[in-house]
Every structure is written in C-alpha cells, then in structure tokens.
C-alpha cells in the first residue's frame, strides 16, 4: 500500500475543527470539502463583505461554530500577505480565498 502524499495525506485536526467535522485526521482536500459542505448546508455565503448570509457569494459568514476555527488563523502567505482573523466576530465575513489559510491554521 502506498502512503498518501501532499494534499491527500491525512493531517491531524485541532480540536474545534475536529469537533465541527467529526474527525481527528483528514486529508486537506477532505477538510476543505467538508467545510464547504457545512457552509453551503447552513447558507453561510454572502456577496458583500460582512453582509447577511444569503446562500451564495464569495464571502463566508462566521457563525458560532466557524468562528473559533477562523479565530485561530494568523498566517503569512508565501507572497507576504497576512491573514489575521483572530479578532473576527460572529456575523463578520472572510473572503473564500482565505480558506486555505484557515485550513492551514487548524491542522498540525
């Protein structure tokens, strides 16, 4: 059996993410998919920054379950862009492009 590598390699989830997704280890691809499943099921997308959840759009509204996960995110990308969601509040939004940083901040 070959060992999975890269994005398909299972990684350990930090507690809040593990609780939300009901798993302690998942490949990054599955983490992202399951987060999107949750976001879509709860209609947590909006077309405007900090807008009301309307079920579609490029912004993701932080609800009570996503907020502790988003709040763990403080990272600098390879291009030097800082993603700091530590002060995000419930009802505020993140750009969907920040999801990779969120996943990265919530795995070990």
Domain count, the chain: 1
Query: Is 89 within the bounds of a domain?
Result: yes
Residue 99 has what pLDDT? Answer: 94
Query: Is 2 within the bounds of a domain?
Result: no
- Rounded CA-CA distance 90/68 in Å is 9
Q: Are 73 and 86 in contact (CB under 8 A)?
A: yes
* Structural domain that includes position 58: 11-105
| CATH number of the domain where residue 19 is located | 1.10.245.10
Banded model confidence at residue 1, pLDDT cuts 50, 70, 90 = low
State pTM to two decimals: 0.90
Query: Is 37 within the bounds of a domain?
Result: yes
Residue % of the chain over a pLDDT of 90: 88
Query: Is 3 within the bounds of a domain?
Result: no
By DSSP bridging, strand 59-61 and strand 10-12 are unpaired
* Structure-block tokens of residue 74: 């403080």
């Amino acid at each position: 059996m070959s060992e999975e590598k890269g994005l398909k390699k299972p990684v350990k989830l930090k507690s809040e993410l593990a609780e939300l997704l009901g798993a302690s280890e998942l490949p990054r691809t599955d983490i992202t998919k399951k987060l999107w499943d949750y976001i879509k099921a709860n209609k947590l997308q909006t077309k405007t920054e900090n807008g009301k959840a309307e079920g579609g759009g490029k912004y993701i509204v932080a609800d009570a379950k996503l907020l502790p996960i988003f709040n763990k995110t403080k990272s600098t990308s390879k291009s030097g862009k800082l993603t700091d969601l530590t002060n995000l509040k419930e009802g505020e939004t993140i750009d969907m492009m920040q999801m990779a940083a969120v996943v990265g901040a919530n795995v070990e």
